[in-house]
Amino acid sequence: MNNLIAHANEKIEMFNQGIVERNPAEYEFHQAVREFTESVIPFLMNHEKYSDGHILERMTEPDRIVIFRVCWENDEGHICCNRAWRVQFNNSIGPYKGGLRFHPNVSQGVLKFLGFEQVYKNALTGLPMGGAKGGSNFDPKGKSDREVMRFCQSLMTELSRHIGEDTDIPAGDIGVGAREISYLFGQYKRLNNRFVGTLTGKGLSFGGSLIRAEATGYGVVYFTQHVLHQHGQSFSDKTAVISGSGNVALFCAEKLIHLGVKVVTLSDSSGFIHDPDGIDLEKLHWLRELKFNKRGRISEYAQQFSTAKYYPDQRPWVIPGDMAFPCATQNELDLNDAKALVSNHILVVAEGANMPCTLEAVRFFEEKEVLFAPAKAANAGGVAVSGLEQSQNSQRFAWSREEVDERLQQIMAHIHKQCVEYGKGEGDTINYVNGANIGGFVKVAEAMLAYGIA
């Protein structure tokens, strides 16, 4: 047994050394592949048909990456120049699908990690979607609506050659919300003279789906409910600490509040707010207006509501709670944060953001038997409803709120079932990281093997 583990560890080290050598300085991509291979390589050793096909080598090389210049004019009439990418990672089980991110720290390594994870997340949903991710180092913060519009139109002028309703269907991510998707879709339609569902997250009056805005946050909560239920627990009398205050964080908070959970923190890149009385629906409504329309800072919450305190330049993980939902960005919860959560007896950590926990933090949660729901499974509700938006566009039909929510709940239950099937550990334990990685892997690998060598 010990020999087998040592052999698996040796294989993991060798494989990841190759990844680092072939993809220099793409640290987030190295991290994502390491986490995945720590689950999948031991599985491969008992399932030879996959290892014979050199499947992991093929899966860690994107199908293609498009890199391009985006020039646009700011309100002062100056020419600005950004870089943009679309990483089309794998279309074995369906057209490429995944969001666009606008943030100054966007790089090829960040988009490759996101595209790689998207492949297996999308596979878990059970819908026919491949994986991709894209974006730009453009910073929407402080830009006028007109500047954002000119940037989006310029970006789409190039991107439109590489996407299509049966080829690649982008959506939103950090810095790309309803406003940006509208500008991007408007330009796509104008360039192609076709009204088709080539983007998701669209406005409701032009092909968007009900519940798409809510889906990622709601999905995280539905998934967490299954994890708790599986372990004889429920949301009753629970308190939640959440990071972020964007699309995922605010709808995660909303669903938790609907289900009777007390939500006490939210954050942005400048700091966090702690409201020991709990953030109720009225306060949340005010916050949504602040974040989505006024584009203000989270510190303003503490000026508006005297029950809350603002902590600049800090993260919310020091605040006691039963459940933690990191919903902001990658690597926002490290080993020290994990130790703080464990010392406050955290029961469950569910990743709303993509890879918000460092590898060391995840290992610490596993060691301390904290229930841990990884992003690939927990936050798949967003892309799942994007898939449902595509179906509605193809049918030229719109489903009711209830119908989409019902399907979202079914998909999250299905993802949980796969995690349980593939993540069974000793006794009654379930390793959700293994479950999500192996469950996603099997589906994509089966398709790749069926195609032969490609």
Ligand X SMILES: NC(=O)C1=CN([C@@H]2O[C@H](COP(=O)(O)OP(=O)(O)OC[C@H]3O[C@@H](n4cnc5c(N)ncnc54)[C@H](O)[C@@H]3O)[C@@H](O)[C@H]2O)C=CC1
Catalytic residue positions? 133
d(CA 179, CA 196): 19
**Residue 247 labeled ligand binder:** yes
d(CA 397, CA 407): 16
- Does residue 328 bind ligand X (CB under 6 A)? yes
Contacting ligand X (CB under 6 A), which of 131, 246, 316, 439?
246
- Does residue 431 bind ligand AKG (CB under 6 A)? no
Interface segment toward ligand X; rule CB under 6 A; list 39-47, 244-252, 418-426, 444-452? 244-252
- Does residue 216 bind ligand X (CB under 6 A)? yes
Phi-psi region of 276 (alpha: psi -120 to 50; beta: other; left: phi over 0): alpha
Sign of CA dihedral 359, 442, 369, 11: negative
DSSP 369-435: T-EEE-HHHHTTHHHHHHHHHHHHHHHT----HHHHHHHHHHHHHHHHHHHHHH-B-STT-B-HHHH
* Amino acid letter, residue 16: N
- Does residue 171 bind ligand AKG (CB under 6 A)? yes
Task: Name which of ligand X, ligand AKG, none residue 175 binds, using a CB cut-off of 5 to 8 Å depending on partner kind.
Answer: ligand X
Could you give the string, one character per residue 369-398, with x where binding to ligand X holds by CB under 6 A and - elsewhere? ----------x--x----------------
Q: ∠65-118-347 over CA atoms, to 5°? A: 145
Least distance to ligand X, CB of residue 300, Å: 13
User: At CB < 8 A and 24+ separation, what contacts does 137-140 make?
Assistant: 137/82, 137/83, 137/103, 137/104, 137/105, 137/106, 137/107, 138/70, 138/82, 138/84, 138/102, 138/104, 138/175, 139/102, 139/103, 139/104, 139/175, 140/102, 140/175, 140/180
Contacting ligand AKG (CB under 6 A), which of 273, 333, 383, 411?
383
d(CA 112, CA 170): 15
Helix, strand, coil in percent for the chain, rounding step 5: 50, 15, 30
- Does residue 140 bind ligand X (CB under 6 A)? no
Interface segment toward ligand X; rule CB under 6 A; list 50-58, 77-85, 169-177, 337-345? 169-177
Interface segment toward ligand X; rule CB under 6 A; list 29-37, 233-241, 282-290, 323-331? 323-331
Query: Which tokens hold the place of 23?
Result: 């993809």
- Does residue 354 bind ligand AKG (CB under 6 A)? yes
Contacting ligand X (CB under 6 A), which of 39, 247, 392, 431?
247
**Residue 265 labeled ligand binder:** no
- Does residue 131 bind ligand AKG (CB under 6 A)? no
Residues 182-211 that bind ligand AKG (CB under 6 A): 200
**Residue 121 labeled ligand binder:** yes
- Does residue 99 bind ligand AKG (CB under 6 A)? yes
Task: Name which of ligand AKG, ligand X, none residue 332 binds, using a CB cut-off of 5 to 8 Å depending on partner kind.
Answer: ligand X
Q: Are 337 and 328 in contact (CB under 8 A)?
A: no
Helices (H) and strands (E) in the chain, counts: 17, 12
Contacting ligand X (CB under 6 A), which of 170, 175, 208, 439?
175
**Residue 309 labeled ligand binder:** no
**Residue 216 labeled ligand binder:** yes
Interface segment toward ligand X; rule CB under 6 A; list 22-30, 202-210, 221-229, 240-248? 240-248
Contacting ligand AKG (CB under 6 A), which of 97, 112, 238, 291?
97
Nearer to ligand AKG, 203 or 425 (CB): 203
Interface segment toward ligand X; rule CB under 6 A; list 267-275, 282-290, 434-442, 444-452? 267-275
- Does residue 382 bind ligand AKG (CB under 6 A)? yes
Q: Which residues pair with 350 in a beta bridge?
A: 373
d(CA 182, CA 172): 10
Which residue is at the shortest CB distance from ligand AKG? 99
145 CA to centre of own chain: 26
For residue 141, the SS3 value is: coil
Q: Are 183 and 112 in contact (CB under 8 A)?
A: no
Least distance to ligand X, CB of residue 52, Å: 34
- Does residue 98 bind ligand AKG (CB under 6 A)? yes
d(CA 449, CA 162): 26
Q: Which of 440, 417, 428, 356 is nearest to 223 (CA)?
A: 417
Nearer to ligand AKG, 132 or 264 (CB): 132
**Contact partners, residue 215, CB within 8 Å, separation at least 6:** 251, 381, 382, 384, 385, 386, 408
Query: Which tokens hold the place of 340?
Result: 């703080």
Task: Name which of ligand X, ligand AKG, none residue 248 binds, using a CB cut-off of 5 to 8 Å depending on partner kind.
Answer: ligand X
- Does residue 269 bind ligand X (CB under 6 A)? yes
Can you give the binding site for ligand X, defined by CB under 6 A?
Answer: 172-175, 177, 216, 244-249, 267-269, 327-329, 332, 352-354, 379, 382
Binding residue ranges: 97, 118, 121, 172, 216, 247, 386
Can you give the binding site for ligand AKG, defined by CB under 6 A?
Answer: 97-99, 118, 121, 171, 173, 200, 354, 382-383, 386
